[in-house]
Each structure stands twice: as C-alpha cells, then as structure tokens.
Structure 1
Amino acid sequence: MERDIAVKSADDQMKWGSDVAAELLRRLGIEYVCINPGSSFRGLHDSMVNYLGNEEPSLILSLHEESVVAIAHGYAKVAGKPMGVILHSNVGLMLGMMSIFNAWCDRVPMLILGATGAVDTAVRRNWIDWLHTSRDQGALIRNFVKWDEQPTSPTATVDAMLRAYMHACTAPCGPSYVALDRRLQEDALSKPIEIPDISLFAPPHPPKPATEVVERAATLLAQAQRPVILIGRASHAPAAWHARVALAEMLGARVITDLRFGASFPTTHPLHGAPPDLFLTPRNRRILADADAVLSLGWDDLADVMRQAFTDSGRRATVIHASVDYQVHNGWSGDHQRLAAIDVRIACEADVLLEPLLHALSKHDMPPKPATTDRTASAPQPGPIVAGRKPTLLDIGQALLAARADRKLCLARVPLNWPAGAYPFEDPMDYLGYDGGGGVGSGPGMTIGSALALKGSGRIPVGLMGDGEFIGGATALWTAAHYRIPVLIVVANNRSYYTDEVQQEAVAVARGRPPENKWIGQRIDEPAINIAGLASDLGFATEPVVRDSGDIQTALERGLDEVEKGGCYLIEIEIEPSDGSSLDWLNHH
C-alpha cells in the first residue's frame, strides 16, 4: 500500500491526551486505521499524522463510514488480526452500524475508536458539539460488540484500549468500541503517562478441550458407520485445512461445507458432498439424513440443518458440536440461531479440537464403512461456454476457472446464487465467505480490505458481486485506487434486486395476485447506472460492458493481468436478469 507521506514533525513527545491513544495503536501492532474524517476526533487525527508521522499505523481514508468498517472487516478475514477504525461521534457511528453488525455476526476482530463532542457542557464549542454528543454513545452498538468503554482520563484510556483489543481478539472474536471525549483528546497531559508492557495484556491462548470429552467424541465417531462432518466457521491456516482433510479421511466421513464461511475443505475431494451453498442443498440434505453421527465444527445454524435432514425420517443422528460461539450469544438479535440438541458439547474453537481428536481416533480400530452410491467428488465438469448469448453466473464461474490458469486467486465475495460447482475451492485462501449480517453494500469495502491484507502475498483478490451490492458501497473503490491496492472487481449486473423480485413473486402467487408486478420497487433501470463509468471516475481501469458470454474469459484475463501489475480493475458483465433466481430456487432454499 502506498501511504500518504506526512511532513516530519519536530515534536515527537507524548503531550496530549490523543497522543496516548495513538501510541497505544502503535504498540498494539495495528498496521492501518481506516477513517472518514470528523471534527470530534481532530485531536486523535493530529496525533496519528503529526505525533506518529502516519506510520505504524497509517491512516486510510474511505468515503463513507459503512465502507470504513467493511474495509477493516475484509482485512481481518485475511490477516486474522484487527485493523483500526475511527468513527466520527454519534453520526459516524450510526452510519457504520450495519457494518459493525456484519463484523459481529462474522466473528472477526476489530478495534473501533469513536469520539464525542465534549461531555462537559460548559466547554462545548457551539451547536455542532451539542448535536455530536450523546449520553452513553456505546449503547447504540452494545448488543453487537464484544466490549465498549468511554474513558474519562488518559490513564483510563490505556486500560480501555488494552481491554478492547484483548476482547476483540479473544474467541469468539468481534468488534470492540472505545469512545474518546473531544476534550480528553485535546487537553494537554498534566503528568507523564506510563504505558505498560503490551505483552502482559495479550489475548489468552484458546482453551483446549477436556481429554475425557475428546475421548467420548472419538469413540462415538469411530463406531459410526455413516459419519458426516459439518464445517462452518473455520481457520484459513493451512495446518487446520490439512487436519480437517486428515480427519475426514480417517473417519471415511462425508463433508458438508457452507458458502457463508469461506473455503474450509477441498470441494474436489471425493468425500466432499454437494458444492457449498448458502443453504442446505437437496443432495447434502440426503447425505446428512443418512448419517448416524454428525461432527459439527463451528456450524452456525446446526439446529435448523438437523431439522431439515431428519424431520421426515423420525430419527436423529448422534451430534457432536465444537464451538465457543455460545459465549457471545445475548438474545438481542437472532445471530445465535435456533437452540440445537447436542449429545457432546465441546467448548473450544473448532480447529483447536482437530489435533487432539485425531490423536484420540488413532487409538481406535475403525470398522469398515459401507459403500455409498453418492460418493463422487463435486469437481466441476465445465463444458465450453456458448457464445452469442447473454452471460449467466455459471458462465462467469467457468470463465474465471479457465482464466486463472496457474494464478492464485482469492475470491473475497461471490454473488447470491453463485454456482459454486463451477469453481472449485482447493486451498483455504481460495474463498473468504460472506459478510455475516446479510445486508447490502459491504462487498466493495470488504473486497478492498481483503486486498490490502493480501498485498504482496502472491494472490490476486477478486470480488464478484451483483449490481445492487456494488452500488451500495461503490465509493470504497476510491480507497483502493488512491492507495494503489491491487484488486479485481467483477459486477454481475441484472439491473435489479432480483432475489427480492423472486420473493415478491412468491407472495403474489401465494395470494392469487399478479406476479407480473414483482419488478416494481426492485428494478435498477431507466436510467441504467453506468457501473463501469462510475468505477472509472473513482480511479479504476475498466472496459466496455461485457454482454456476450463468449467475451467473459478474455475480459477476465485482461483484468487479472492488470491486477498482477498492481492495478485496480473493474469488469461489468450484463447477465440474464433471472439468472440463478427463480421460484424453484426459492423453494429449494
């Protein structure tokens, strides 16, 4: 990343309240802090630029608070550690709230600093200080952050930020929030502030499961004839990836993965079920319904998945579930999902279980597993793309597979209804997953944040998204262009929020009303938005809209070439409006 170079200041002493916060960011190892500027944190802004010299960490400017947080979210999904965020008073916090909720639901670490107009009414400057001051500002987001605080002194700021970082990075991870009063930032220090050894406040090591619980799980799995492994939220670390493969092979277990959580198991492996989706597909439902033992590794909506598979059969499998997610369930939102019936609960992160479980299983004699009629790998068998017609998402997937050749790509985002069978996942960094909260507009920011973390890794970040998703966060592209963050954005444009057209069609049909009206309040047309033109104005290289399926691969190859050279590139592909979305799709999901 090309950071903005600050004029060196002769004043490198910690003299102001905001200098303390800036110094802590540096000592905590925060590499970048993303902001949209505001007067409530002008003191901290000055400390970042003139006290720290805009180095370690560097400021990153984004044009909207929703993207500010989304960029930090995407960064954390790749880096596995927090990026800093600063939000301007109550108004900036409210603008960033949806993205904070995404980070909470996706369990990614994030350190958010806020600010408020002076709490002391006697020193508020004018009407804007009053508007930008809220009582208990953290209450706006308290239900979906790990921890929040509003310190009232520089010494308390040290404690607040150390605690915020520790909570954010302790599994289940999530965002933490510290609000700094304007006067606290701008007042001179009355005495030297001692910052303790940061290593003494490091997040705790993840707890390991009790030996007797692991032994019980191993016995049940070893005795099972038809075990199934559900892999949900999982580490991108290569060692964990290989351990999951080893576990499935040792058990002869079928594996079901989920498009929400990123690549967690090779989709070309013979033990992998149907290509991953956002919902349990009919084929995976059959695989799960046949199981006599189920190992859930961080699966998010375990109860609903089991209900789908076993409702009609009148039976249930033995269920083993490894997760610490329950520790942050608070009932405010439904991110805790339905309460699952579990035979063996293992209170540890899913990947922490792998090594001791493999060791325990190695001491068991595995009975032979019965043959199955549904044991083919889900590797794609793409045929030639038919030219001369409007593209589909399947065409995009097949063309991307062909265009990548020997390149290493990282899909930072894919559209709803993505045909995962057209593009295999063979490495934990092949795909990063969704945004957690299921809103609209996080795609560009999260893609650019992941691209920032991937820079120099040898992987090319690719964000595939629909037009509605792109338009909601398009201004994030300027950040990538300004800081020279190489990234490829591909927009599948059907000029509609078409998934919601399908929903409206379903309601109309159920009520005996005309489904032809489904488009009203959904179509993004008349005028059509010039997506490529918008991207160009924000600093991206683009090309004419791709309207023929036969032209997709060549366009993707051009885009990948440009990103390999360090460029920012966008390709707009006009797809069949109803591609991947129909009442049949809705009924299956």
Structure 2
Amino acid sequence: MQNIKMSDVDQPNLPAEFPIGWKSDVAAEMLRKLGIRYVALNPGASYRGFHDSLVNYLGNQNPQMIMCLHEDHVVAIAHGYAKAADAPMAAVLHSNVGLMHGLMGLFNAFCDRVPMVVIGATGPVVPEKRRPWIDWIHTCKDQGALLRNYVKWDDEPRSVEGVVEAFLRGYQLTCSTPNAPVYICLDAGLQEEAVSGEVHIPDIERYRPKTRPAAPAQDVQAVADAIKAAKTPVFMFGRGSRDQAHWDARVKLAELAGASVMSSQRERAAFPTQHGLHVLPPMGSMSAAAKDLLGAADLIVSFDYSDLQGFLRQLNRRTGTIKAKIVHVSVDDVLHNGWSMDYFGLPPTDIGIAADPDAFVEQLYPALESVLGGKKRWDGQSRRKWEPLNYSERADQVLMPSDIEVALAEIRRDRKFTLTHLSFGWAGRAYHWNDPLDYLGHDGGAGLAAGPGLAIGAALALKDTDRFVISVDGDGDFMQGATALWTAAHYSIPALFIISNNRSNFNDEIHQEAVAKDRSRPVSNKWIGLRIDEPALDIASLARSQGVEAEGPVKYKKALLEALERGLAIVASGRPYLIDVSVLPGYANKLVTRGD
C-alpha cells in the first residue's frame, strides 16, 4: 500500500463550479464556512441530496468525506478526531436506522464531553413525496427523541433560513464548554428542493463559540485563601483541554501551591506523570497509596474530576464525613438531565466553582501568587511514590497484558506517541504522559467497539505530524469495531493497532467469579459463555482482508519488541498496521466488582 495524500482520495470529476442551487447545498456550504475539515459517513438514501452537495457542489473538499462500513465507526472516528484536535468533525447518520446503529458511539462521545456535529436525515416529511415502503419505514416523527438525552441540543430545520441557523447554533453549542455532540436532522424532501431567491449566510465570526466560563472574583479569592491555609493540599486534575498553554498553567499552579497531584486514567492526559508532584500513577480505582494520600489531605481541589464522589467513596463510604475541605471546579452540570447517570454521585463540596477548570487555573494563579507573596511552595523534591513496572516474570515465554505497556515504554525513546485507547491490563506504572497529546483518555461511555474508530479519528487529526497514534484494544472490544480498519486502509491513515488478545471477555469472567463466590457456586465455570476460543480468532488475517498490514499472534517479549518496531516503521511511512499480541488473562490493577 502506498502512502497517499487525503486530497488525492476519491476526488470527483467536475467540469465546472456549481452555484448553490439546492437546499442541501446550503447545509454543505455551512460545514465549509464553519471550518469543518472532514465528514465521516456510511451511505444512505435519506441524505442522498446532501451527499450530492458534498461531492458535486463542494468537490469533496473542506469537508472531505471519510467513508465507513458501519455507523458506529462513523461516530467513533469523529469522536477520536475531537479528542486529538479539540475541535469538531461532522458525522452523518442515515435516517432512523443508521442513527440507531450510531447511538452507542454517540453515548460514548456525550459521556466523554467532546464536540461533534452530527447530521441525520429523515424520509420526506411531506407524505406525498415518500417512495413506497422504504421512505415510510425510514421516516419518523421527532427523530431527535432517540438521542435527546445524550446530546447537547438537536434540531430538524424546515427551511433554508432554518438550516443556516441550525448549523450556526449547533456549532456554537458543541464548541462551547462543556462540550458535547449536537444533532441536526435534514428532511430528505427539503434537501431535494431547489433554492428560490438569494441565500443569505451571515458572517460566521459573529456566531463563534462562547468563551470558557470563569469564576466570580470572590470564589477565586476563597480558593486562594484555602490553599494558603492548607498544609497538605491535593489537586485532582480531571477533564482538561489539549492546549499546551493550559497544560503548562496546571503545572505552574501545582508548583506554586506545593500541592500533591492526582490524575485519572479514564480522562485525557492533564499533567506530566513524571513530575515530582504527581505522587501516584494515573488512577482508575482507589489504591491503598491513594487512600493514604487523600486521607492525610486537609484540602482537596477537584478540577472537573469525573466521578469525584465515587472516587472519594472508596476512601470513606460516608463522604460527607471526610475532614478535608473540598473544592470542586466544574460546569458539567449544564449537561445533567436525569436520564443518564453519567453525572455520577453528588460529592460533598465546601466551595463549588461554576467555571471551566482551565479558565479557573488561569484566574487562580495570580490570586494565589498574591496571597503567598510570590513565593513558590514546592521545594523541588519529588514526592512520587511508585516503583517502575517491569516485564512479568515469564515474559520471555508468555506475555501478560502489562507487558505491552512496558514494551511501549522501552521502545518509545524520543518518539512522540499518542495513545488513544488502553486495555484493562494497563497498569500506568511504566509509561508516562509528557504532554497533552500523549494520552487521549477512555472512550467515555464504556461502550465496546470504540477503540479502532477512536484511533483512526485521532490519526486523521494528527496525520502529517510527527506523532505515532497507537491504540491498545482488548480482543472482544476490537472484534466489535474491526471493520473500521477498512477506512484506515482506504485513506492511508497511519495508526498502530495493538490487540491485547486474551481470548476472552475477561472483564466478565471476574464478575462471574465474584457472583459465584457470593452464592457459594463453582468458580471453575466462570468462563462459560465468555471465552473467545475454539476456534481462535485470526485477527491478523481479518486486518489483512481489509488492506491493513498485520502480524501475530505474538507470544513473547523479543517477538513483541521486534513487531512493535516493524509496526512503527510502517506507520512512519504513512500506513496503518496491526499486531495481534497473545496474552494470558489478568489485570494489572484490581477491578471493582461491587458498588458497596
């Protein structure tokens, strides 16, 4: 496979430029004016007018179509792009049936708080325009009801003016904090109507996203005073932007405050894990060392730490009795609607700050500097309390999931890696985050099949940069999203897919073991209905069948390191690559199986 430029793929033969002539052209023109670079889609007749406008009116440029084999991949690719670019991509879903396919991906993206412009379509609203049978089953009233509980906003415009306003409003909302997808449904009949009269599109600059919400001065001062009074403050960094300036500002603030730092393995990299103040590895569930750290804290400042209550509950079930003063900085409640529990438990909060966390960091630094008299509290001595993770004892003969992390850390050297997804076997004790693009976080809603699409979307955003995009997926997760690889091959999107293949839905084996123990039943049966074996999956052949070069199963350390180097060489040349790594079942960190 040759490395090709995106602008060379699937370009139409156009004898001339066409003026806006159809109402679907208006929707396409809005995407271009809003600066949307790519639009992922799986074809469908409900938006055939809009499809024609993308090809024959826009010339398949700005935005360019990214064709996928399944609607779930359409959304996952747009999701991964947003995670890497901090900017929205468009995703198109075919009528009610395509929308229902894409709903899982949309729930992931909503829970992950990423921007995305989702364009749907319904069969002709006017019944006399519907083709027999097919247009009737592809038409529904209030299509947005299918996803309204997990998007930020939706609309179904009925006129050219309505289309213009829908895209202006949708873009503004999805890009304003807190981010989340928006949905615009285009009536198939409206798309195929000719434009009559002049189409007025206002100056886009007057409808740009709102600035990050900041805190009132008295709240900023209250937190600065609380930090000054604290002897053992802990900063918990959760959701944050990919902006290097914001990353640097977090580091400066922690050093000024002398605060110990914790971050989440579920969220995007927010703080350098090798820094002396990052005391523990990025957290999934609460470790014994984390309990000690938080138990000794007299001030806990959460910068939009997701599920703060659930995390603190592992420290003390009665979180309201925790002695430390707690500050929680977040505007996430703007999206809380009562349908989805992705807002998590209600944490005890002594000072609640309704502000974007990065905007608040910028506000807090000068206020804290003033109350501290300009003196930095951190003495430069490292507080890190974890030992580096090494290869498992028998890695020369058989691999554990954590060996993938150790191998990536070993071969990384001065290369810039962007990890887009991690398997449950990731320990976080060998591999470090050094900048905002080192790790892009979890899939948000824990819906399987996202991993491959997330990697492709991120690699699309980072194509032609010096970064290597790498995804570490479990075999069960990967198989549900495997056909996303065709898109990577077709558009020559360079990403390295590493499959941590334990031949099981092993997460559920742990849960079945917990239930069997509770009920005094045989633990030996935990694998039934969960193992992915007999026959074993030929994952490398599946990748090759879609045009992606692949190898495996790789079964020991030396072979893994050699495979990684081969894969990175292919990715550096501009092509995707897959490595199937055979690992024994097992997790580096304890899985929480109960809520009590």
TM-score category by the smaller chain?
A: over 0.9
Over residues 248-279 of structure 1, what are the superposed CA-to-partner deviations in whole Å (9 max), with x where a residue is unaligned? 11121111110111211111122112211322
**Partners of 1:146 and 1:228 in 2: CA distance:** 32
Match of 1:209 in 2: 215
Match of 1:402 in 2: 410
Q: Is the 8 A contact 1:267 1:378 kept in 2?
A: no
Match of 2:134 in 1: 128
Match of 1:434 in 2: 442
Letter paired with 1:98: M
In the TM superposition, 1:510-525 aligns within 5 A as 510-525=518-533
Q: Secondary structure at the match of 2:306?
A: coil
Match of 1:166 in 2: 172
Residue in structure 1 matching 2:340, options 333, 336, 358? 333
**Partners of 2:589 and 2:178 in 1: CA distance:** 34
**Partners of 2:440 and 2:169 in 1: CA distance:** 28
Q: Secondary structure at the match of 2:550?
A: coil
**Partners of 2:73 and 2:529 in 1: CA distance:** 25
**Partners of 1:379 and 1:181 in 2: CA distance:** 58
Q: Does 1:279 align with 2:285?
A: yes
Match of 2:467 in 1: 459
Q: What's the CA shift for 1:281? A: 2.1
Residue in structure 1 matching 2:546, options 538, 543, 561? 538
Q: What's the CA shift for 1:239? A: 1.2
Residue in structure 1 matching 2:573, options 565, 570, 580? 565
Q: Is the 8 A contact 1:225 1:369 kept in 2?
A: no
In the TM superposition, 1:78-477 aligns within 5 A as 78-311=84-317, 314-365=321-372, 375-378=383-386, 380=388, 382=390, 386-477=394-485
Q: Is the 8 A contact 2:276 2:382 kept in 1?
A: no
**Partners of 1:582 and 1:518 in 2: CA distance:** 17
Q: What's the CA shift for 1:548? A: 1.5
**Partners of 2:547 and 2:575 in 1: CA distance:** 10
**Partners of 1:199 and 1:494 in 2: CA distance:** 51
Single out whichever of 493-502 and 193-202 deviates more from structure 2. 193-202
**Partners of 1:588 and 1:424 in 2: CA distance:** 30
**Partners of 1:481 and 1:559 in 2: CA distance:** 14
Q: Does 1:55 align with 2:61?
A: yes
Q: What's the CA shift for 1:528? A: 1.2
Match of 1:33 in 2: 39
Q: Is the 8 A contact 1:117 1:182 kept in 2?
A: yes
Q: Is the 8 A contact 2:485 2:543 kept in 1?
A: yes
User: CA 1:87/1:312 → structure 2, altered by over 3 Å: closer, same or farther?
Assistant: closer
Match of 1:70 in 2: 76
**Partners of 2:108 and 2:590 in 1: CA distance:** 27
Q: Secondary structure at the match of 1:148?
A: strand
Q: What's the CA shift for 1:12? A: 1.1
Letter paired with 2:125: V
Over residues 167-218 of structure 1, what are the superposed CA-to-partner deviations in whole Å (9 max), with x where a residue is unaligned? 1111111100111111100011122211111111111112221111101100
Q: Is the 8 A contact 1:386 1:549 kept in 2?
A: no
Single out whichever of 542-551 and 222-231 deviates more from structure 2. 542-551
Q: Is the 8 A contact 1:404 1:557 kept in 2?
A: no
User: CA 1:312/1:35 → structure 2, altered by over 3 Å: closer, same or farther?
Assistant: closer
Q: What's the CA shift for 1:581? A: 7.2
Task: Point out where structure 1 has 5 or more consecutive residues left out of the alignment.
Answer: none
User: CA 1:470/1:315 → structure 2, altered by over 3 Å: closer, same or farther?
Assistant: closer
Q: What's the CA shift for 1:579? A: 4.5
Q: What's the CA shift for 1:417? A: 3.5
User: CA 1:382/1:526 → structure 2, altered by over 3 Å: closer, same or farther?
Assistant: closer
Q: Secondary structure at the match of 1:178?
A: strand
Q: Secondary structure at the match of 1:542?
A: strand
Task: Point out where structure 2 has 5 or more consecutive residues left out of the alignment.
Answer: none
User: CA 1:385/1:8 → structure 2, altered by over 3 Å: closer, same or farther?
Assistant: farther
**Partners of 1:21 and 1:315 in 2: CA distance:** 53
User: CA 1:304/1:374 → structure 2, altered by over 3 Å: closer, same or farther?
Assistant: farther
Match of 1:21 in 2: 27
Q: What's the CA shift for 1:162? A: 1.1
Match of 2:487 in 1: 479
User: CA 1:554/1:179 → structure 2, altered by over 3 Å: closer, same or farther?
Assistant: same
Q: Percent of counterpart pairs with the same letter?
A: 46
Letter paired with 1:280: M
Q: What's the CA shift for 1:368? A: 10
**Partners of 1:54 and 1:187 in 2: CA distance:** 21
Letter paired with 1:30: I
Q: Is the 8 A contact 1:75 1:453 kept in 2?
A: yes
Q: Is the 8 A contact 2:427 2:589 kept in 1?
A: no
Letter paired with 2:44: G
User: CA 1:285/1:155 → structure 2, altered by over 3 Å: closer, same or farther?
Assistant: same
Q: What's the CA shift for 1:358? A: 0.9
Single out whichever of 195-204 and 502-511 deviates more from structure 2. 195-204
Q: Is the 8 A contact 1:34 1:85 kept in 2?
A: yes
User: CA 1:25/1:317 → structure 2, altered by over 3 Å: closer, same or farther?
Assistant: same
Single out whichever of 546-555 and 561-570 deviates more from structure 2. 546-555
Q: Secondary structure at the match of 2:97?
A: helix
Q: Does 1:489 align with 2:497?
A: yes
**Partners of 1:73 and 1:582 in 2: CA distance:** 28
- Count of paired positions: 588
**Partners of 2:524 and 2:502 in 1: CA distance:** 17
Q: Is the 8 A contact 1:282 1:588 kept in 2?
A: no
Q: Is the 8 A contact 1:269 1:377 kept in 2?
A: no
**Partners of 2:595 and 2:439 in 1: CA distance:** 24
Q: Is the 8 A contact 1:410 1:462 kept in 2?
A: yes
Match of 2:557 in 1: 549
Q: TM-score, normalised by structure 1?
A: 0.96
**Partners of 1:305 and 1:469 in 2: CA distance:** 25
Single out whichever of 393-402 and 104-113 deviates more from structure 2. 393-402
**Partners of 2:363 and 2:90 in 1: CA distance:** 35
Match of 1:506 in 2: 514
Q: What's the CA shift for 1:11? A: 4.7
Over residues 153-176 of structure 1, what are the superposed CA-to-partner deviations in whole Å (9 max), with x where a residue is unaligned? 122111111111111111111100
Q: What's the CA shift for 1:464? A: 0.6
Letter paired with 1:431: Y
Q: What's the CA shift for 1:387? A: 4.5
Match of 2:586 in 1: 578
Letter paired with 1:101: F
Over residues 393-415 of structure 1, what are the superposed CA-to-partner deviations in whole Å (9 max), with x where a residue is unaligned? 22111111111222110101110
Q: Secondary structure at the match of 1:296?
A: strand
Letter paired with 2:175: C
**Partners of 1:72 and 1:415 in 2: CA distance:** 21
Q: What's the CA shift for 1:544? A: 3.1
Over residues 410-452 of structure 1, what are the superposed CA-to-partner deviations in whole Å (9 max), with x where a residue is unaligned? 1011101311101111111111001110111100001100000
Letter paired with 1:111: V
**Partners of 1:107 and 1:578 in 2: CA distance:** 30
Q: What's the CA shift for 1:307? A: 2.7
Letter paired with 1:184: L
